[in-house]
Structure 1
Amino acid sequence: MKRKYGVLIVVIAIAVIVFLLWNGGKSNSVDHATQLTPSVQKIRVAATKPTLMTFEDTVTFVGNLEAEEKASVASKVGDVTILSVNVDVGDEVKMGDILVEMDDSLNRRQIEEARAAVARAEAAIAQARSRLATVEKDYKRYKQLYEEQVISRQQFDQTEGQYEVEKAGLDLAQRELKQAQARLEQLLIVKNYHKVAAPVSGIIAERLVDPGDTVKSGDVLLVISRQDNVKVKGTITEANYPKVKLGQNVYIKVDAFPEQDFTGKVNRISPTLDPITRTGEVEVRIASQGLLKPGMFARVEIVVGSHEALAVPREAVRQLAGTGEWYCFVVSDNVAQQRPIKRGAEQGNWIEITEGIGESDLVITTVVRQLSDGVPVEVATQ
């Protein structure tokens, strides 16, 4: 009887051990499974509704900055040698400044000869007047004698002929004096051309001669650029041509000053279109502010009107890598939904949305790596 009780106790003990081992293993597996199940956490984001804004309608083109005016300073005398060049590229000059000096030795000799010719002509006039005065007395006397029939017609004719010759001689001497004086005046003007003065104020843009060079009449010596204002020329399409008017405001971006905006006006519009490209040329003028220089690359926006449209902050707009497609994330049932969009104009930190977003949509502006289509989100701020 005791043996039966002992066996029963052993069996019960084994059953208890097996039960405990079974429950313990099951509990551990449940705990382990619980650990493997990921917890779903919501991403806290900031979101906003699209804003109705007024955007400027613009027509754009690109081009290079040019000087408002350029003056080519050319030589007015030929076969002369440059003695000195008083300026270099980049120098600022004022109207009347002497820029280039040329050898005027030949001109000085010509002036001396012309003055001598004037003196000879003046002497010739004095002699002609003296002779004429003498002959005139004889002419008047002989005329009176002829009228009194004291002398013959032949004698009077000889005296009259001599008188006319002396009058013509005086006229010729006077004409020769005028020619000599004109030649002298011309040479004195040419003498001034040997010192080349700046015709306008500006900046020396090009220097084409050096001391010792021999130049001909008409050769360009220097180019002066007026840079108080600069201009940009560009072409616009036939569709945009009617929208552009003289005096419209213009915004200019220059690569050299990426953080700075420049403003100007439409200065000129071509009256005709190119029949091949169907484009017209537009010129805008901008104050240089001492910064803008000819040759800089510029992007031009001409303001031709305005319109109202929905807009979202720039940080809300994203682009699919490797494509030209744009999208936003909107909140839909506490889930981020990727929404394809089409962009329009840009104004400051705002971008016009022409398609894909409505007024009631809640657009996510938070930029986080974990954000993707279908991810649960919690809007923290609006």
Structure 2
Amino acid sequence: MLNRWIWIGVAVAVCLAVGAFFLLRPPAVAVTKPERGLAVEAVYATGTVEPRSYAETGSKISGRVIELKAKEGDRIAAGDVLAVIDLGEDAANVDQLQAKLKLAEADAVRARKLRRSGNVSIAALDQAESALGAADAALKSAKAKLEDHYIRAPIAGVVLRSEQQLKVGDMVQPQQTLFIVGDPSALQIDAEVDEEDITKVKPGQEALIRADAFNGEVLRGTVADITPYGDPVARTYRVHIALPSDTPLLSGMTTEINIVVRKQENALLVPVSALSGGAVWTIVDGRAVQVKVELGAVAKDKAEIRTGLGDRAIVILNPPSTLKPGARLRVATP
């Protein structure tokens, strides 16, 4: 019986010792060491691919389309007719005024001859000349009005887009964009950059571009220029990104852009998961030490440490929110 109680006592003591060991044992944390590599600081922007040179055009009058002279993809010269709006009475009016001008010209020629021979008065000649001038002015006005029925290309290039798939018989209104004409071979991105970042952006900087049409592929461009006046409502500035001639991007595509504003070779890097605000946690002699650091570029998985941390530091990954300076810790085995 005595031996039985002795063994029970020994077992209890062992259990208590084991329990105390695990209770008092410091918690384990995953750690890493900083590494050296390239740090890239970039400014984020979004933008749309546009031709460098393009123009919108439409009708100055309301009316019905009676003829389409060009379609999307057609190459055209400046001044070419793209569409014709119902001419109505304006065409007939031009014909009538042309006939009146011819009659006035004949009357003026006859009056000049008669005046030279002294058969008409100066007043009669002046009246004929005045009638000629009035007929000429009326015809020019009528032709200008008739010209409003013709939608012409404002610049040479390609019809990039026919708005609303314009068809013969459609009604159009003034100030309505009907065609976009431009050069599809020379493209740029019109990007919007937040005003808080615009001071970092300079012409000549590299731009890394992503588009849904090229999933996972990084395309390249260059900052060409920056508009000097921003949008005070959206609080953005427009930046033009020049694209190489062989870019696969097409007009109208939406893009996400990272403008590279700084590159640092041999930078000290730690995983983003090691950051805790403006600090990182390290282990020194088995205890937690919080180190204030100056951050540089922060990417998706790595962050640049500019000051405050050494190469040999043991950095804690995913530090617990309850971690206190001086707490005892141990390194988790992989």
Structure number with greater Rg is 1
Q: Deviations over 1:60-101 (max 9, x none)?
A: 46566585677442434x4x52235969xxx66754675543
- C-alpha deviation, 1:349, in angstroms: 4.3
Would the alpha carbon gap of residues 166 and 131 (structure 1) be closer, same or farther in structure 2, given more than 3 Å must change?
A: farther
In 1, the alpha carbon distance for the partners of 2:105 and 2:251 equals: 61
Would the alpha carbon gap of residues 336 and 264 (structure 1) be closer, same or farther in structure 2, given more than 3 Å must change?
A: farther
Alignment of 1:1-382 (within 5 A): 21-35=1-15, 37=18, 48-56=32-40, 60=43, 65=48, 71-76=55-60, 78=61, 80-83=62-65, 95=76, 99-124=82-107, 127-128=110-111, 131=114, 136=117, 161-162=118-119, 165=121, 169=125, 180=135, 184=139, 187-188=142-143, 190-200=145-155, 201=158, 203-204=160-161, 213=171, 215=173, 219-222=175-178, 224=180, 228-234=187-193, 236=195, 241=199, 244-251=201-208, 261=218, 263-270=221-228, 281=237, 283-285=239-241, 287=243, 289-290=248-249, 293=252, 301=259, 303=261, 306=264, 309-314=267-272, 317=274, 319=276, 324=277, 327-328=280-281, 330=282, 332-333=284-285, 335=286, 337=288, 339=290, 342=293, 343-347=295-299, 349-354=301-306, 357-363=309-315, 374-377=328-331
Would the alpha carbon gap of residues 85 and 349 (structure 1) be closer, same or farther in structure 2, given more than 3 Å must change?
A: farther
Q: Deviations over 1:233-275 (max 9, x none)?
A: 44545x974x5533333446779989565543051252x899x
The letter of the residue matching 1:26 is I
The letter of the residue matching 1:194 is H
Q: Deviations over 1:100-124 (max 9, x none)?
A: 4311121221122123123323543
In 1, the alpha carbon distance for the partners of 2:31 and 2:251 equals: 41
The sequence identity of aligned pairs, in percent, is 20
Would the alpha carbon gap of residues 268 and 213 (structure 1) be closer, same or farther in structure 2, given more than 3 Å must change?
A: same
SS of residue paired to 1:83: strand
In 2, the alpha carbon distance for the partners of 1:122 and 1:297 equals: 63
- C-alpha deviation, 1:308, in angstroms: 5.9
Matched-pair contact (CA < 8 Å) for 1:327–1:339:
yes
Q: Deviations over 1:143-194 (max 9, x none)?
A: xxxxxxxxxxxxxxxxxx43x748984x875775576566556645654442
In 2, the alpha carbon distance for the partners of 1:292 and 1:46 equals: 49
Would the alpha carbon gap of residues 269 and 111 (structure 1) be closer, same or farther in structure 2, given more than 3 Å must change?
A: closer
- Root-mean-square deviation (CA, aligned residues, Å) is 5.3
Would the alpha carbon gap of residues 113 and 269 (structure 1) be closer, same or farther in structure 2, given more than 3 Å must change?
A: closer
Would the alpha carbon gap of residues 225 and 43 (structure 1) be closer, same or farther in structure 2, given more than 3 Å must change?
A: farther
* Structure 1 portions without partners, runs of 5+: 1-20, 137-160
In 2, the alpha carbon distance for the partners of 1:325 and 1:85 equals: 67
Would the alpha carbon gap of residues 306 and 332 (structure 1) be closer, same or farther in structure 2, given more than 3 Å must change?
A: closer
Kindly indicate which of the two structures has a greater share of residues assigned to helix. Answer: 1
**TM-score, scaled to structure 1:** 0.56
- C-alpha deviation, 1:24, in angstroms: 3.2
Give the count of matched residue pairs.
308
In 2, the alpha carbon distance for the partners of 1:86 and 1:345 equals: 55
Q: Deviations over 1:305-357 (max 9, x none)?
A: 7576421244x5255xxxx56645x4545x58464554431357431124553
Matched-pair contact (CA < 8 Å) for 1:268–1:282:
yes
